[in-house]
Amino acid sequence: MDSQQEEFLRELLEDFKIEAAEHHQAIVNGLIKLEKTPGSANSQSDVEIIFREIHSMKGAARAVNLTQIEQLCMGMENVFHEIKKGNLKLIPAIFDTFLKAADYLEIMISEIDSKQKTVSENNLSQFKRSFEGFIKKSSPGFGVLHSQPRVENKFTSSKPENPIAATAADRAEETSLSAVPEPLNTQVNKPIVESHMKLSDKETVRVTTSKLYDILRQAEEMVTVKTSLKFQIKQLEQLITRFDSWRKTQDDRFFTQSTMSIEVDESHQSVEGAKQKVYLKKHAEELNKINGSLEQMQRLVIRSVDEMLLDIKKTLLYPFSSLLNIVPKIVRDLGKEYNKEINLQMEGGEIEIDRRILEEMKDPLIHLIRNCIDHGLETRSDRLKANKPAMGNLNISIRLDNQNIEMLISDDGAGINSEKLINSSIKSGIIKPEEVEAMSKNEINMLIFSSGVSTSPFITDVSGRGLGMAIVAEKVAGIEGTIELETEQGKGTSFKITLPQTMAAFRGILVRASDQLFIIPTSTVIKALQLKLSDIKTVESKKTFSFKNETIALVHLREVLHIRHRPAEKKQQSTLNVLILQLSQKKIAFIIDEVLGEQEGVVKNLSPQLRHVTNIAGATLLGNGKVVPILHIAELMSSAAQRSLINDIEIVKEVDNEGTEAIERNILVVEDSITVRNMLRNFIEAAGFTVKTAVDGMEAFEILKAETFDLVVSDIEMPRMNGFQLTSQIRSIKKLADTPIILVTSLDSANDRQRGLEAGANAYIVKGSFEKSNLIETIQRLI
Amino acid sequence: MIVNEQKTLYERARVVAFKKKATPVGDDSVEVVEFILHPEHYAIEGKYLREVLSLNEITTIPGTPDFVMGVINFRGTILSIVNLKVIFGLTEKGLTELNKVIILCNDTMEFGIVADGLVGNKRIVSNTLSDAPLTLNGIGADFVSGITDEGLIVLDANRMLNSTQLIIDQ
């Protein structure tokens, strides 16, 4: 029972924290609005709003026994009661005290769960004294008389047209229902069904975000079903094609047979043939039917998975205002600190965006605002000197443009001093002095986003260390947004950040480097192209080529990743497959062996053991279930930049070798164990042979019929067709009969050796006594 | 053929169902699973063993040390595979199959190790183990609890799972 009550109280406190944070934000916003325009027509309603928010917070705090918060709110409420009645003028001291009190409220709310209590009784009694001081200043005789409980009673009775606000105070688990300006009791009296119907559209529930994200993750897993289904259908289609062509040969055979054997038991033959024809036709039809319904199902799955994902993502959308709410306070505090008068304008807070993006944007927004206030806007005297209005303007506007959200942060301050920017960039080694000439204005402006660059001669606690803007650029790039910058000296600066509205499903380009597959995030690929070898230039011993008047460094993906190079790939290289990748202004082109297509998927962690592997961001699953690593482009680019020059020269050697390649020796490795298969392949390739692999005798035999090999290395124990059978099969076909065969096996008995030799193998190597050189020597001897 | 199969299955069921006589050991006896890493036989405590599967497809991850063989798709999640042969320095002793994956896990860690074959369950008495041979050194030595009279090398799965040396965090 006790633990149940504890649990209940804990839940209540959680609810209170959420509610109190909202009240707190509303109080702060109201105060700042009021401070800016104290005499405006709306000020009375602003006072009303603040009063109500304080009152609600007080009630909620009392409900969960948080006496300190309740007391502080009560003091604030008393003062606002006098203001509301017009007994007390809004003097600047009130704003300072109240905003400070709001800070204390925030601290207390954040410390509900922790043992640490920053706010002491002493702090609270100080506030109490200040509040009493304000009230004394109001019309004599009134302020002191109003005791707290009566204020509340009065409030409820004096405002009969809006009972919601009063009830809100008593219900800590308030939903946003309170925003519906309709008295609750009238709804209660209506028939239940009707009220349910009426409410269902507007009714809201609080759900912890972690639960929503769990659902989102599960929905994202469904993407794997999509890709897997696609793969299975493709497999089935291939099967149908094979079956159809086989059926055709069968039909033809029966046709010729039946026409040739008219005399011999005519009726029997044709009946058999007709039977088989009907049988095959029936099966072909069934296959096609299954294929049809699978395709139909695929369309259905694609549609419902996509719709489900979109809907779940929509529930995760959040108004931008929840982020913008923190801005007025920051601007006010920084303005006071730097002694700058700032007129803040914000619009578009109602526009909705993925919560995760909003969370990611918090730091960048704060950095940009600090940057604007510290570096951008001038002091009052400087502004007057420059013939500008004394008050600096800071505008933040949010716009929805198709599926993208544009966040514009602009000031009418001094603008960015490009000379200082260039000097600072040169000093920190980001650019070389001689490079400046060739840089466009935009490129120079973008230098501000490089780490270590600051135009400020002073290092303050908010800016000047040159890290803030680099963080901004990184964060924005991390959520696949872009940032642009416009600045004019003396006129101001504006940053335009373009963000996606929802976190897009991960899309990547599937590429092959040597014999390994990788996924490159589509968002980083700006161009895939085929590069002629003659287009490659060498600049300071580095490979580059020119793309749209830009010189781009060229590297081999497999070399950056240190993957073994398979000599077999050399032959048809008259052009290179190249992907140009871009990440925050940096472009590098990677040479890959093949582009296999685009892939949608879920980014998965590599495994608890592989916490972080350089150049790898995670992995995703292909339709056939295969795991493919996703490359970490930022790390890949810095790995590429760090590569030693020796590797670069290797490209030249390869290119030079092109025409004079030695005669290729093809070897087929047949082995069912994947480990041994890869091991054998690596050994044999390392010795300079070209290797193809098969998983069992059956597959090997198919491959042998289609292609030419100089030698076969085969295991003995394999499913479907073992090594002995394979050897006999090879020997029985004239075209293949002379191919040397080496049997590699763990079976070490004289009997087996004998059997192998009888079947026609040329050599027999026992795994137990196996040594690399032994196998290679044997191969070389036999070819 | 079918009769034979039936008979085999019956025989197998009988053996499995047969209640073994309480092994004449005290609380020190632990259930282990014996497996082969050519040419040696190893054992690992059963309670850390989650599952055994065949290795069909493995994706190598560039930039990982040799003892990380790669990763596999284990029912939709990604699982890394450790090759103990590299850790124990057995790589030069011939080609092996390494086609069985033994998945080890505790509360915080999970990975698979590859084996050449699985022998089966066994009970051993931990206080009868002799120390690991001096020839083993490096991280490998840390993972060995001891050796049984028959020469079975008993590994400490928990220590492997908790080892920071096996974690890749570059």
Question: Exposed, middle or buried: residue A212 (CB in 10 Å: 0-12, 13-18, 19+)?
Answer: middle
How much is the pLDDT for B133?
Answer: 64
Partner residue facing B80 (CB), from A609, A676, A767 = A609
Identify the residue with better confidence: A519 or A329. A519
Unique residue bearing structure tokens 């308030």: A174
The domains of chain B, with CATH numbers, are: 27-166 (2.40.50.180)
Q: How far is CA A236 from the centre of its chain?
A: 33
Which of A675, A766, A771 to probe the B interface (max B CBs under 10 A)? A675
> Which residue of chain B has the CA closest to A769?
B94
DSSP string, A645-659: HHHHHHHHHHHHHGG
How much is the pLDDT for A190?
Answer: 43
The Cα of B67 is separated from the nearest Cα of chain A by a number of Å equal to 12
The Cα–Cα gap between A220 and A505 comes to 8
Whole domain around residue A326: which residue ranges? Answer: 319-500
Q: What is the CATH number of the domain that holds A138?
A: 1.20.120.160
Asked if B168 and A612 come within 8 Å (Cβ–Cβ), the reply is yes
The Cα–Cα gap between A125 and A145 comes to 19
A764 contacts A714 by C-beta, under 8 angstroms: no
Q: Among A680, A738, A674, which Cα is nearest to A704's? A: A738
A621, A551: one domain: yes
Q: Any chain A CB within 8 A of the CB of B26?
A: no
Radius of gyration in angstroms for the set of CA atoms belonging to chain B, rounded to a whole number? 17
A254 contacts A248 by C-beta, under 8 angstroms: no
Partner residue facing B71 (CB), from A517, A563, A627 = A627
Percent of chain B with pLDDT over 70: 84
A451, A462: one domain: yes
Q: Is residue A138 part of a domain?
A: yes
**pLDDT tens digits for A543-589?**
888 888 888 888 889 888 888 766 555 555 678 899 999 876 678 99
**Do the interacting molecules here have an ipTM over 0.90?**
no
Q: Any chain A CB within 8 A of the CB of B161?
A: no
Angle at the Cα of B27 from the Cα atoms of B21 and B32, rounded to 5 degrees: 70
A305, A450: one domain: no
How much is the pLDDT for A563?
Answer: 83
Q: Provide the residue count of chain A.
A: 783
Range A230-237 contact pairs with CB under 8 angstroms and sequence separation of 24 or more: A230/A298, A230/A623, A231/A622, A231/A623, A231/A624, A232/A294, A232/A623, A233/A291, A233/A294, A233/A295, A233/A298, A234/A623, A236/A287, A236/A290, A236/A291, A236/A294, A237/A291
A484, A514: one domain: no
The Cα of B17 is separated from the nearest Cα of chain A by a number of Å equal to 31
Q: Any chain A CB within 8 A of the CB of B101?
A: no
Final residue belonging to a domain, choices A316, A337, A354: A316
The SS3 call for residue A597 is strand
Asked if B63 and A221 come within 8 Å (Cβ–Cβ), the reply is no
How much is the pLDDT for A288?
Answer: 92
Q: Among B48, B52, B40, which Cα is nearest to B153's? A: B40
The Cα–Cα gap between A557 and A593 comes to 9
Residues forming a β-bridge with A465: none
The Cα–Cα gap between A624 and A373 comes to 54
The Cα–Cα gap between A544 and A524 comes to 19
Q: Is residue A308 part of a domain?
A: yes
Q: Residue A166: pLDDT band by 50, 70, 90 thresholds? A: very low
Percent of chain A with pLDDT over 70: 81
A12, A124: one domain: yes
Asked if B58 and A629 come within 8 Å (Cβ–Cβ), the reply is no
DSSP string, A516-541: EEEEEEGGGEEEEEEEEGGG-EEETT
A225, A295: one domain: yes
> Which residue of chain A has the CA closest to B114?
A675
Q: Is residue A199 part of a domain?
A: no
Q: Which residues of chain B make contact with A609, given a CB cutoff of 8 A?
A: 68, 80, 82, 109-111, 166-168
Unique residue bearing structure tokens 């050519």: B38
Element (H, E) at A137: helix A121-137
A281, A361: one domain: no
Q: Residue A165: pLDDT band by 50, 70, 90 thresholds? A: very low
Among A34-48, A526-540, B55-69, the range with the most confident prediction by mean pLDDT is B55-69
**pLDDT tens digits for A627-680?**
999 999 888 988 888 764 344 434 444 443 443 345 678 899 998 888 778 878
> What integer best gives the mean pLDDT of chain A?
78
How much is the pLDDT for A141?
Answer: 41
Question: Exposed, middle or buried: residue A323 (CB in 10 Å: 0-12, 13-18, 19+)?
Answer: buried
Q: Is residue A190 part of a domain?
A: no
A187 C-beta neighbours (distance < 10 Å), count: 16
Residues forming a β-bridge with B102: B52, B113
How much is the pLDDT for B20?
Answer: 56
How much is the pLDDT for B78?
Answer: 92
A295 contacts A364 by C-beta, under 8 angstroms: no
Unique residue bearing structure tokens 């039809």: A285
Q: Any chain B CB within 8 A of the CB of A564?
A: no
Q: What is the CATH number of the domain that holds A777?
A: 3.40.50.2300
- What total of structural domains would you count in chain A? 5
How much is the pLDDT for A255?
Answer: 66
The Cα–Cα gap between A345 and B14 comes to 82
The Cα–Cα gap between A406 and A498 comes to 5
Q: Is residue A554 part of a domain?
A: yes
A672 C-beta neighbours (distance < 10 Å), count: 19
DSSP string, A713-732: EE-SS-SSS-HHHHHHHHHH
Question: Exposed, middle or buried: residue A580 (CB in 10 Å: 0-12, 13-18, 19+)?
Answer: buried
Mean pLDDT in residue range A694-713: 88
Mean pLDDT in residue range A456-476: 61
How much is the pLDDT for A768?
Answer: 55
Mean pLDDT in residue range A519-544: 84
How much is the pLDDT for A263?
Answer: 54
Q: What is the CATH number of the domain that holds A340?
A: 3.30.565.10
- The helices-and-strands tally (H runs, E runs) of chain A is 26, 24
Cis amide bond preceding B24, omega within 30: no
The SS3 call for residue A174 is coil
The Cα–Cα gap between A252 and A244 comes to 12
Asked if B62 and A609 come within 8 Å (Cβ–Cβ), the reply is no
DSSP string, A206-253: ---HHHHHHHHHHHHHHHHHHHHHHHHHHHHHHHHHHHHHHHHHHHHH
A413 contacts A376 by C-beta, under 8 angstroms: yes
Is the pLDDT confidence value at A703 over 60? yes
A670, A584: one domain: no
The three-state (H, E, C) secondary structure of A611-630, written as one string = EEECCEEEEEECCCCCEEEE
The SS3 call for residue B123 is strand
The Cα–Cα gap between A129 and A125 comes to 6
Range A459-465 contact pairs with CB under 8 angstroms and sequence separation of 24 or more: A460/A374, A462/A334, A462/A370, A462/A374, A463/A367, A463/A370, A463/A371, A463/A374, A463/A375, A464/A374
The SS3 call for residue A505 is coil
Q: How far is CA A490 from the centre of its chain?
A: 38
Mean pLDDT in residue range A122-139: 81
The Cα–Cα gap between A66 and A108 comes to 9
Among A70-74, A133-137, A258-262, the range with the most confident prediction by mean pLDDT is A70-74
A647, A686: one domain: no
Q: Is residue A184 part of a domain?
A: no
Is the pLDDT confidence value at A423 over 70? yes
Q: Is residue A179 part of a domain?
A: no
Mean pLDDT in residue range A6-24: 82
Q: Among A486, A409, A498, which Cα is nearest to A448's? A: A486
Q: Any chain A CB within 8 A of the CB of B108?
A: yes
**pLDDT tens digits for A366-410?**
888 888 888 888 888 888 888 888 888 999 999 988 778 999 999
Question: Exposed, middle or buried: residue A123 (CB in 10 Å: 0-12, 13-18, 19+)?
Answer: middle
B35 contacts B143 by C-beta, under 8 angstroms: no
Q: Which residues of chain B make contact with A221, given a CB cutoff of 8 A?
A: 76
The Cα–Cα gap between B64 and B169 comes to 10
How much is the pLDDT for A394?
Answer: 92
The SS3 call for residue A493 is strand
Angle at the Cα of A641 from the Cα atoms of A635 and A642, rounded to 5 degrees: 90
Asked if B62 and A606 come within 8 Å (Cβ–Cβ), the reply is no
A576, A678: one domain: no
Asked if A611 and B59 come within 8 Å (Cβ–Cβ), the reply is no
Q: Provide the residue count of chain B.
A: 170
Q: Any chain A CB within 8 A of the CB of B98?
A: yes
> Do the strands A404-411 and A392-401 form a parallel or antiparallel pair, or are they unpaired?
antiparallel
Asked if A606 and B39 come within 8 Å (Cβ–Cβ), the reply is no
The Cα of B99 is separated from the nearest Cα of chain A by a number of Å equal to 6
Radius of gyration in angstroms for the set of CA atoms belonging to chain A, rounded to a whole number? 38
pLDDT below 50 — which residues of chain B?
A: 25
Which of B78, B96, B105, B160 to probe the A interface (max A CBs under 10 A)? B78
Asked if A621 and B57 come within 8 Å (Cβ–Cβ), the reply is no
Q: Is residue A600 part of a domain?
A: yes
Final residue belonging to a domain, choices A660, A678, A697: A660
Q: Any chain A CB within 8 A of the CB of B164?
A: no
Q: Among A59, A130, A57, A51, which Cα is nearest to A91's? A: A130
> Which residue of chain A has the CA closest to B68?
A610
Final residue belonging to a domain, choices A660, A680, A706: A660
The SS3 call for residue A279 is helix
The Cα–Cα gap between B50 and B79 comes to 12
Residues forming a β-bridge with A512: A517, A594
Asked if A625 and B73 come within 8 Å (Cβ–Cβ), the reply is yes
Q: Any chain B CB within 8 A of the CB of A743?
A: no
The Cα–Cα gap between A255 and A273 comes to 8
